[in-house]
Amino acid sequence: MTPRKLLLTATTALSLALGGAAQAETFRLGTNGDLYGLDPHSMTDSFTVSFLNHIYEALVRYDADLKIEPALATSWEQIDETTVRYHLREGVKFHDGQDLTAEDVVASVNRAAHEDSPIRGNIAGLVGAKMVDDMTVDLLLDGPNPLLNNFLTNILIFDAGWLEENNALDPIDAQKGEEGYTTSHANGTGPFRFVSRTPDAQTVLEVNEGWWDTPQHNITRIELNPINSDATRVAAMLSGELDMIVPSPLQDSKRIEATPGMHVLEAPGLRAIMMGFNLGDQLNNASTEGNPLKKVEVRQALVHAISYDLLRDKIMRGKSRNLGTLVAPQVPGFDDANDEIPAYDPELAKQMLADAGYADGFSFNMNCPNDSYVNDAAICQALAAMFARVGVKADLTAETKAIHFEHARANETDMFMLGWATLPMLDGYSVLSAMLHTPGGQMGTWNPGGYSNAEVDRLTEAVAVELDADKRLAMMVEAFAIAKNDVAWLPLHAQPLSWAARDGVSIPQTGDDKARLWLARID
């Protein structure tokens, strides 16, 4: 192993100093929640991983049109059904001055694929990696994989020696509260370097003047400011304390647009918002014996208790898209037939509950985040009111996303909210493998309620290795139809993208809701 450099070289340090003096544009970003930490392998939270893409990079990446393009790898070829070879980019350096080599890729891929890795569900079928030479690495698969490059966009590459020196070669799970050296330290190859972090207050990055790519941005410093309160975040934006906020509250869009020097960016989003169920033998709500939610007739009744149009028009200000299936229209696997919205019919819901043996209703626990999705807590409040009209009591707890997802993953609630954008795959297989397949191994990593259907499992496993695009699409549509009939999850809507920025900020807005600041400019 190459001896570690403990300090930046004098040349690199001088370059950073001169670059900062020549171009001093600070980008102040306000968000509705904070990072889980600085380790991109430690969670599946889309926002955290998207921000860490400014520090760390992958072998390939999505461009502004969400098309795969080379990043740390310049080319690749299929050696056989279970081996894909990647050729690394020459001259790439980590922020501490170390050269990128195949050793770093092998350590990073194996770390992500570790049995204890919380992101292993995003790389189903990946067995591991091995070096061919210093600049070539083979990724080893358990069979044909049509989505390898898609999920590699989120397998960010660490410096192997840095991990080893800091006892961080094994993964940690941030959403279980685990921490390690990589939670508060970072060393990537990306366009910005980590400077400092105060959890729930501010994270600061500065430009990496030695970045291998040709910068399209003019930013020398990024200040990430988590502001949970919508009103406070908007006020900071309007007062000039921030350059951009993500998300911009839908209810404030007209006010922001009417403010001189401000504008709103809106676009269709990929994220499907849904509710998950506890499908075990006993609810967590102690006042209810057994688990009524385990009966598909009860879950179907709850669907008829929901006014989708009311949620869209009142809570989401007409900006969302009602969704009857688990993926947005832009995602392969979406089908119009699966997207049919069940009729709002409270009387039918009551009758179905009575037929299922719950004429007097029942109580269950509902947990929702209040800082993760657009109007998340308000959506759950509206759902609780709708359920109450048919005699079902939802004991609602609104909580920060860190606590919420910890409870959800541990199946410590009876109904919970989840938003899924199929990232990094941008394919319906993301939902099938993580949320609908019976939990086990790399499958069902986000199926805490325990949904299980043998035919869905079979179709999911077939989709994973089918290279014929038409055949795999048909199988995904079939699997989603089964899940819809089972009410495996309760889809609500496709979440709209809404950002706000001051005039002079130029940035592409993509359906994955990632603010790629290396493509942004401030005039």
Work out the number of other CB atoms within 10 angstroms of the CB of residue 410.
Answer: 11
Model confidence pLDDT, tens digit, residues 288-313? 999 999 999 999 999 999 999 999 99
Band the pLDDT of 14: cuts 50, 70, 90. Answer: very low
Average pLDDT over residues 21-32: 78
DSSP state of 227: -
Tell me the pLDDT tens digit for each residue of 199-213: 999 999 999 999 999
**Residue 424 has what pLDDT?**
80
Residue that wins the pLDDT comparison between 523 and 417 = 417
Q: What is the pLDDT of residues 127-141, one digit of tens each?
A: 899 999 999 999 999
CATH architecture of 23-226+501-522: 3-Layer(aba) Sandwich (3.40)
Q: Confidence band (pLDDT; 50, 70, 90) for 46?
A: confident
What is the model's pLDDT at position 10?
30
Specify the range with the lowest mean pLDDT, choosing from 18-32, 40-54, 103-117, 476-490.
18-32
CATH topology assigned to domain 272-494: Dipeptide-binding Protein; domain 3 (3.10.105)
| Domain ranges, ordered by start, for the chain | 23-226+501-522, 272-494
How confident is the model over 453-457, as a mean pLDDT?
98
Q: What is the pLDDT of residue 23?
A: 44
Residue with token string 């092998």:
106
Confidence of residue 21 (pLDDT cuts 50, 70, 90): very low
From CA 11, how far away is CA 152, in angstroms rounded? Answer: 33
Place of tokens 């990632």: 514
Q: Which DSSP string do the residues of 78-127 spell out, in sequence order?
A: EEETTEEEEEEPTT-B-TTSPBP-HHHHHHHHHHHTSTT-TTGGGGTTEE
| 3-state secondary structure labels for all residues of 208-225 | CCCCCCCCCCCCCEEEEE
Cα(497)–Cα(482) distance, integer angstroms: 29
pLDDT in tens, 348-377: 999 999 999 999 999 999 999 998 898 999
Residue 17 pLDDT > 80, yes or no? no
Provide the percentage of residues in the chain whose pLDDT is more than 90: 85
159-185 burial, b for 16+ CB within 10 Å, e for fewer? bbbbbeeeebeebbbbbeebebebbee
Q: Are 190 and 53 in contact (CB under 8 A)?
A: yes
The tens digit of pLDDT for each residue in 142-180 reads: 888 898 999 899 999 999 999 999 999 999 998 788 999
Mean predicted confidence (pLDDT) in 257-266: 96
Is residue 238 pLDDT above 60, yes or no?
yes
Mean pLDDT (the chain, rounded): 92
Q: At residue 24, does pLDDT exceed 60? A: no
**CA-CA distance, 191 to 206, in Å (whole number)?**
9
Strands 262-267 and 497-502: antiparallel
User: Is 50 exceeded by the pLDDT of residue 6?
Assistant: no
Percent of the chain with pLDDT over 70: 95
Q: What is the mean pLDDT of residues 60-67?
A: 91
Q: Is the pLDDT of residue 62 over 80?
A: yes
pLDDT of 42 > 80? The answer is yes
DSSP 430: H
User: What's the pLDDT score for residue 402?
Assistant: 87
